[in-house]
Every structure is written in structure tokens, then in C-alpha cells.
């Protein structure tokens, strides 16, 4: 499943490998570290909802961080 979704994502004409790698690394960082609201959701919401919402929030945070980084790099070059 992950390999298939990665293959589909790489076929987009505007995707860059560095952005894909950074966004995955940022997601894993937020998912493991669990800062702020992500950690609170994981601790307070028991069961599957807490696990899923913590992943969703980690993905949103990683997406925002990646977008900000790419906008900053775009202004440099």
C-alpha cells in the first residue's frame, strides 16, 4: 500500500523528491516526538480514535512545515 501510494505520488509532474523525503521525515518526527496538541490527543483520547487523530495532526503539522520550508527555499533561489 505504501509503495503504491509513493509510486502514484512520484508520477505527479510537480513533485520533487526532496519535498517528498522531507515531508515523510517531518511526519515521522512529529509522530514520534508528539509535541503540544498531538501528544495531548494521543494521551487523552483512548483507543483507535486517539491513534488515528495523532497521525492526522502529525501529518498536518508535517505538511505545514514542508510547505513553509519550500516557500522559504523558493525565495532564496
Work out the average pLDDT over 57-66. Answer: 91
How many structural domains does the chain have? Answer: 1
Q: Is the pTM of this model over 0.95?
A: no
In a domain, 70, yes or no: yes
Distinct helix (H) and strand (E) counts, the chain: 4, 0
Is 70's pLDDT higher than 70?
Answer: yes
Widest Cα–Cα separation across the chain: 46
Range of the domain at 45: 16-76
In a domain, 7, yes or no: no
In a domain, 5, yes or no: no
In a domain, 6, yes or no: no
In a domain, 55, yes or no: yes
Task: Determine which helix (DSSP H) or strand (DSSP E) holds 23, and give its type and residue range.
Answer: helix 17-33
Amino acid at each position: 500500500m505504501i509503495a503504491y501510494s509513493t509510486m502514484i505520488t512520484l508520477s505527479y509532474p510537480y513533485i520533487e523528491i526532496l519535498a517528498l523525503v522531507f515531508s515523510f521525515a517531518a511526519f515521522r518526527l512529529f509522530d514520534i516526538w508528539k509535541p503540544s496538541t498531538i501528544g495531548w490527543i494521543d494521551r487523552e483520547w483512548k483507543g483507535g480514535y486517539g491513534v488515528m487523530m495523532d497521525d492526522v495532526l502529525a501529518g498536518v503539522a508535517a505538511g505545514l512545515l514542508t510547505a513553509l520550508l519550500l516557500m522559504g527555499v523558493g525565495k532564496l533561489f
